[in-house]
């Protein structure tokens, strides 16, 4: 359970995934608890009640332990959250040096490698304001991947992008999934989730309504809320 004052953002959000679930999609209506659950899984928020296990290991509930767990994950926010005064390369290398204790040489090598891989070689020394939305999001993904995270957590990674930029970012995420990166993704991109997710957790009103394999969820959802949600999203597609 996770509360904000009197509001229960998560209440009865219990689920577990299959052991072979490499990519987990969090789906559901806006305000249903997806972003809150993502932050709990990543160690950004500590629930007031209940426990969270990732790969069989319980997440700590004390602030110091939660911070250590957070450092083992990579988080990509809706608004990118890049440092505006730093270049794309500096946005990747600074956390590696300050938070993870890497040398400047090692951080530079890792940063250039990732940004090049994500198609940003010609933009290494540009600040966020000089990059398109899709380029900023790819830089944010590079920063999250830099410390080789246990989990990559993505919160609506394409919400502010046009269709072309959305395609660029989704291609990157698909490639990472194919390479074996463990990903938890909160998204409204149903067609994309259908392609890449192994497992779906469907939330509404702060509660997990359904937790199943991707195939079962998309072709035979059990809850009435999930059926209504899928029908509404696919009606004009």
pLDDT at 203 over 70: yes
How large is the angle between the packed helices 163-178 and 133-145, nearest 10 degrees? 20
Do 111 and 197 lie in one domain? The reply is no
∠ CA 224-226-231, rounded to 5°: 95
Do 156 and 230 lie in one domain? The reply is yes
Diameter of the chain measured on Cα atoms:
54
Do 113 and 221 lie in one domain? The reply is no
Average pLDDT for the chain: 87
Give the residue-averaged pLDDT of 216-226: 92
pLDDT at 236 over 60: no
Q: What's 178's domain CATH number?
A: 3.40.50.300
* Domain end residue (candidates: 105, 131, 149): 149
User: How many domains is the chain partitioned into structurally?
Assistant: 2
pLDDT 10s digits, 60-96: 777 777 777 777 888 888 777 899 999 999 999 999 9
Interatomic CA distance for residues 77 and 81, integer angstroms:
7
Task: Give domain status of residue 78, yes or no.
Answer: no
Do 145 and 167 lie in one domain? The reply is no
How confident is the model at residue 213, as a pLDDT? 94
Do 156 and 204 lie in one domain? The reply is yes
Task: Give domain status of residue 77, yes or no.
Answer: no
CB atoms within 10 A of CB 224: 9
Do 8 and 118 lie in one domain? The reply is no
Interatomic CA distance for residues 131 and 76, integer angstroms:
17
How confident is the model at residue 173, as a pLDDT? 87
Who wins on pLDDT, 100 or 12?
A: 100
170 token code pair: 């989704």
What domain range is 95 assigned to? Answer: 84-149
Residue 141 pLDDT class (50, 70, 90 cuts): very high
Do 93 and 109 lie in one domain? The reply is yes
């Amino acid at each position: 359970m996770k509360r904000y004052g009197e509001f229960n953002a998560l209440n009865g959000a219990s689920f577990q995934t299959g052991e072979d679930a490499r990519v987990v999609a969090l789906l559901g209506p806006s305000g249903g608890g997806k972003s809150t659950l993502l932050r709990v899984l990543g160690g950004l928020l500590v629930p007031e009640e209940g426990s969270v296990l990732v790969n069989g290991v319980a997440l700590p509930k004390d602030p110091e332990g939660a911070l250590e767990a957070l450092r083992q994950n990579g988080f990509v926010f809706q608004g990118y959250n890049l440092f505006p005064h730093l270049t794309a390369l500096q946005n990747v290398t600074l956390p590696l040096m300050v938070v993870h204790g890497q040398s400047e040489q090692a951080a530079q090598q890792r940063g250039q490698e990732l940004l090049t891989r994500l198609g940003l070689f010609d933009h290494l020394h540009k600040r966020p304001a000089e990059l398109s939305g899709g380029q900023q999001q790819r830089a944010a993904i590079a920063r999250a991947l830099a410390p080789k995270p246990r989990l990559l957590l993505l919160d609506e990674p394409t919400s502010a992008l046009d269709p072309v930029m959305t395609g660029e970012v989704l291609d990157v995420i698909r490639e990472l999934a194919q390479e074996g990166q463990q990903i938890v993704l909160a998204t409204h991109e149903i067609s994309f989730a259908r392609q890449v997710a192994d497992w779906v957790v469907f939330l509404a009103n702060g509660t997990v309504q359904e937790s199943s394999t991707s195939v079962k969820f998309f072709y035979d959802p059990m809850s009435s809320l999930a059926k209504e949600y899928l029908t509404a999203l696919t009606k004009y597609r």
